[in-house]
């Protein structure tokens, strides 16, 4: 058995060489890939508009305030109906009532408390419609109600697109095709060819206003202020090289 230790050492050497060879081969194969980022972009026009406003009233008692709100509500409903907007497109929320106070000071200027001055009532309404052009025009001309004694606060419309999933799927396809084109060009210049996909990762979905300088967000942008929008997505794909 005097040669046993030499046999063991020989076996250990062979095993070490095998392990190192496998490690080298794995490392070589792991690096035998090309990673590219493909881009997909498209522009589209919103097909849904959401516009809202708030009716306000101030009165010494709640009943009077409610009466004022109801009068304003009726004028808004008549105005929207005259513009051709169906009644079901408009939703009026509950009326909020808040007590109003004003500060009271002593003759020396020190604060003495507060005095009840009346009630403020607010009722928000929302218009949701696929008739984007019509509601957009209505939102710009709503100030005409002020001349009729309506106390109203109108807000800028929000714009949405109801087929956003279709846009997203189309962009994934476009970005993936763009990534493959880039990978094929790199491989061709290197005198090789690309093989199967080793991994793929989708970037965040970005929606900004068309022809705007909006910045992208790490968590994804979702513009609702622009009627015309641009959607963007990236695909980071790793291809094996053969």
Model confidence pLDDT, tens digit, residues 191-214: 899 999 999 999 999 999 998 888
State whether CATH 3.30.110.170 applies to domain 33-45+163-241.
yes
Q: What is the pLDDT of residues 55-105, one digit of tens each?
A: 999 999 999 999 999 999 999 999 999 999 999 999 999 999 999 999 999
Q: What is the pLDDT of residues 5-24, one digit of tens each?
A: 545 445 544 445 444 444 43
Cα–Cα distance between 133 and 159 in angstroms, integer?
Answer: 11
Q: What is the pLDDT of residues 146-184, one digit of tens each?
A: 888 899 999 999 999 999 999 999 999 999 999 999 999
Cα–Cα distance between 64 and 140 in angstroms, integer?
Answer: 30
* High-pLDDT (> 90) share of the chain, %: 73
Q: What is the pLDDT of residues 98-107, one digit of tens each?
A: 999 999 998 8
pLDDT beyond 90 at 122 = yes
State whether CATH 3.30.420.40 applies to domain 49-160.
no
HSE (side-chain half, CA atoms, 13 Å) at 220: 12
Cα–Cα distance between 65 and 85 in angstroms, integer?
Answer: 27
**Cβ neighbours of 18 (radius 10 Å):** 10
How far CA 102 is from CA of 30, 61, 63, in Å, comes to: 74, 16, 21
Dig out the tokens for 73 from the structure: 């509500």
Nearest Cα residue to 160 out of 119, 129, 138, 184: 129
């Amino acid at each position: 058995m005097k040669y046993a230790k030499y046999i063991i050492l020989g076996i250990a050497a062979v095993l070490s060489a095998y392990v190192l060879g496998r490690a080298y081969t794995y490392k070589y194969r792991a690096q035998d890939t090309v990673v590219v980022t493909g881009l997909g972009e498209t522009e589209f026009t919103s097909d849904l508009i959401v516009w809202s406003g708030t009716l306000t009233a101030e009165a010494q008692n709640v009943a009077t305030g409610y009466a004022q709100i109801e009068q304003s509500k009726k004028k808004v409903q008549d105005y929207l109906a005259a513009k051709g907007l169906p009644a079901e497109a408009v939703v009026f929320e509950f009326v909020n009532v808040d007590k109003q106070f004003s500060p009271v000071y002593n003759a020396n200027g020190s604060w003495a408390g507060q005095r009840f001055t009346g009630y403020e009532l607010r009722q928000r309404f929302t218009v949701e419609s696929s008739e984007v052009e019509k509601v957009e025009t209505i939102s710009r001309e709503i100030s005409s109600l002020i001349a009729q004694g309506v106390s109203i606060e109108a807000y800028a419309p929000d714009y949405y697109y109801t087929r956003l999933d279709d846009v997203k799927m189309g962009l994934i396809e476009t970005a993936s095709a763009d990534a493959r084109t880039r990978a094929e060009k790199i491989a061709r210049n290197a005198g090789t060819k690309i093989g199967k996909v080793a991994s793929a990762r989708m970037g965040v979905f970005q929606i900004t206003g068309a022809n705007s300088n909006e910045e992208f967000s790490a968590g994804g942008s979702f513009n609702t202020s622009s009627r015309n929008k641009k959607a963007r997505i990236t695909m980071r794909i790793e291809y094996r090289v053969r």
